Amino acid sequence: MAKPRVLFLCNANSARSLMGEALLRHLAGDRFEAFSAGTEPDRPHEMTLEALRKQNIETSGLASKSLDDFAGQHFDTVIVLCDKAQQACRDWQGSRDEHLYWDIRDPRHIERDNAYEQALQEIRQRLSLWLQLKAHDDRR
């Protein structure tokens, strides 16, 4: 049986959505396929990769991708991490069964040393709760 596919979306696909992709692979890669994209993709931010490595989360293979790269594809869940991506998602030419919106502040625009670690922690907390709900649903 195919694993459920999860797509994380944000603006640049350089921080939050990459964190979501890497975290889901780390926490439940045996149960889910994780992907990420941006509405205006940039490149992975070095502080993103550093925050992930500090938590012993694998970063190899992480790359910024465009939402357009996933046009016509189906995802079981799409998790949108910012307002701009939420707007773009309305016009996206793909399908999903579940659409979640987690408004996570962009660490690139926060003037604190731990902004990336804080964003990672917030995504981890929400993802952990979501995974608990999914495990509960699977047992039904």
DSSP assignment string, 26-89 = HHHTTT-EEEEEESS-----HHHHHHHHHTT---TT----BGGGGTT-EEEEEEE-SHHHHHHH
Read off the pTM: 0.93
Ranges 16-25, 64-73, 88-97, 131-140: which has the least confidence? 88-97
Cα–Cα distance for residue pair 79/131, rounded to 1 Å: 13
- At residue 109, what are phi and psi to the nearest 5 degrees? -110, 15
The pLDDT mean for the chain works out to 91
What does the domain layout of the chain look like in residue ranges? Answer: 5-139
Q: What is the pLDDT of residues 42-92, one digit of tens each?
A: 999 999 999 999 999 999 999 999 998 998 999 999 999 887 766 766 667
Bridge partners (DSSP) listed for residue 6: 34, 77
Question: pLDDT at position 88, please?
Answer: 66
CATH of domain 5-139: 3.40.50.2300
What mean pLDDT is predicted for residues 10-37?
95
* Higher-pLDDT residue of 95, 49: 49
pLDDT band at 131 (very low <50, low <70, confident <90, very high): very high
- What is the rounded CA–CA span in Å between residue 35 and residue 75? 10
Q: What is the pLDDT of residue 15?
A: 95
pLDDT at 85: 66
d(CA 110, CA 65): 23
Structure tokens at 6: 């999860």
